[in-house]
């Protein structure tokens, strides 16, 4: 373990509530155990532990983040690795060459709490900063055999609002429209529901046009806050 990874584990252990750990693991259906640190104290710990961190280049930043991620024995350590990737001091490193790091986290993390955090925040930032290569990458991910990469491609514009690239969103949804996988159906509905906050008429139109292909779950999620199609 690197010194940073050791610092993370030691610090989390100090604030952990081991009594809560089994219930947290059971709730998340996680193979990896928990220490027993909930979200708020975890973020507070990261803020303090990472306050003085800065890097000369993206390779050093990625190396530190991946060291924490790969060395993790407890689930909270991986949340800390994700928090580390979002530090302001790493803002200039959020470019397309960081995508392989996020891809590793998504594929090896392989569960919605990790994946949705990375897709909805980090991948969106990369898409803003390097739109053309990131759009191409997300289109590639949308047909990947890995379900979590597919989900990520669908969710990468959750925060986009009026900046949403509809062509990209629909293209990323298309390969999974007929999927029976819950996490893909849920992602489709969630992405459409979020965009409905910006343009509800467009989402109604899209749902109506794809009525025969969208799952009931995707339709319900998409129309959750705007009502059924007349």
- Examine residue 140 and state whether it is found in any structural domain, yes or no: yes
144 with 228, same domain: the answer is yes
127 with 227, same domain: the answer is yes
**Per-residue pLDDT reduced to its tens digit, 63-98:** 999 999 999 999 999 999 999 999 999 999 999 999
Domains: count for the chain: 2
- Is the separation of the CB atoms in 157 and 188 below 8 Å? no
- Examine residue 193 and state whether it is found in any structural domain, yes or no: yes
Eight-state DSSP code of residue 138? H
Q: How confident is the model at residue 1 (pLDDT cuts 50, 70, 90)?
A: low
Q: Which of 32, 59, 93 is the last residue of a domain?
A: 93
187 with 89, same domain: the answer is no
* Domain residue limits at 27: 1-93
Tokens at 222, concatenated: 């998409």
141 with 220, same domain: the answer is yes
pLDDT of residue 156: 98
6 with 77, same domain: the answer is yes
Q: Which of 60, 93, 126 is the last residue of a domain?
A: 93
Mean per-residue pLDDT, 131-155: 98
pLDDT of residue 77: 98
143 with 79, same domain: the answer is no
In whole angstroms, give the CA distance from residue 93 to residue 59: 9
- Examine residue 158 and state whether it is found in any structural domain, yes or no: yes
125 with 208, same domain: the answer is yes
Q: Where are the alpha helices (DSSP H) in the chain?
A: 3-15, 21-28, 39-49, 58-70, 75-85, 99-109, 112-117, 124-129, 131-141, 147-155, 166-173, 182-196, 200-209, 216-222
Q: Which of 42, 77, 93 is the last residue of a domain?
A: 93
Residue 180's CB: how many other CB atoms inside 10 A? 7
pLDDT of residue 44: 97
Percent residues over pLDDT 70 in the chain: 98
pLDDT of residue 230: 44
- Per-residue burial over 68-98, b if 16 or more Cβ lie within 10 Å, else e, is bbbbbebbbbbbbbbbbbbbeebeebbebeb
- Is the separation of the CB atoms in 139 and 172 below 8 Å? yes
Q: How confident is the model at residue 49 (pLDDT cuts 50, 70, 90)?
A: very high
Mean per-residue pLDDT, 194-219: 96
159 with 77, same domain: the answer is no
Mean per-residue pLDDT, 197-208: 96
Q: How confident is the model at residue 214 (pLDDT cuts 50, 70, 90)?
A: very high
- Examine residue 110 and state whether it is found in any structural domain, yes or no: no
Residue 108's CB: how many other CB atoms inside 10 A? 13
- Examine residue 179 and state whether it is found in any structural domain, yes or no: yes
217 with 130, same domain: the answer is yes
199 with 149, same domain: the answer is yes
- Examine residue 102 and state whether it is found in any structural domain, yes or no: no
- Examine residue 104 and state whether it is found in any structural domain, yes or no: no
Mean per-residue pLDDT, 207-224: 96
Mean per-residue pLDDT, 188-202: 97
pTM passes above 0.85: yes
Tokens at 212, concatenated: 């025969």
In whole angstroms, give the CA distance from residue 215 to residue 19: 40
Give me the CATH number covering residue 6: 1.25.10.90
- Examine residue 107 and state whether it is found in any structural domain, yes or no: no
- Identify which of 151, 161, 225 has the alpha carbon closest to the alpha carbon of residue 188: 151
123 with 210, same domain: the answer is yes
pLDDT of residue 2: 79
131 with 227, same domain: the answer is yes
Provide the residue count of the chain: 230
Mean per-residue pLDDT, 30-53: 96
């Amino acid at each position: 373990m690197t010194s940073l990874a050791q610092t993370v584990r030691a610090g989390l252990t100090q604030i952990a509530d081991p009594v809560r750990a089994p219930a947290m693991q059971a709730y998340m259906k996680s193979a990896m155990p928990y220490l027993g640190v909930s979200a708020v104290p975890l973020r507070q710990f990261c803020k303090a532990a990472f306050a003085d961190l800065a890097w000369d280049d993206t390779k050093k930043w990625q190396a530190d983040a991946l060291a924490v991620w790969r060395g993790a024995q407890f689930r909270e350590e991986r949340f800390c690795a994700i928090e580390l990737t979002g530090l302001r001091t790493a803002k200039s490193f959020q470019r397309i060459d960081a995508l392989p790091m996020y891809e590793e986290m998504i594929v090896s993390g392989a569960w919605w709490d990790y994946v949705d955090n990375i897709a909805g925040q980090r991948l969106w930032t990369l898409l803003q900063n390097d739109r053309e290569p990131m759009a191409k990458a997300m289109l590639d991910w949308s047909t990947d055999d890995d379900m979590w990469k597919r989900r990520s491609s669908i969710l990468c514009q959750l925060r986009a609002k009026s900046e949403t690239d509809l062509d990209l969103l629909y293209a990323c949804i298309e390969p999974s429209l007929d999927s029976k996988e819950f996490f893909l159906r849920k992602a489709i509905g969630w992405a459409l529901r979020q965009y409905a906050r910006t343009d509800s008429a467009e989402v109604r139109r899209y749902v109506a046009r794809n009525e025969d292909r969208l799952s009931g779950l995707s339709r319900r999620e998409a129309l959750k806050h705007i009502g059924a199609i007349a």
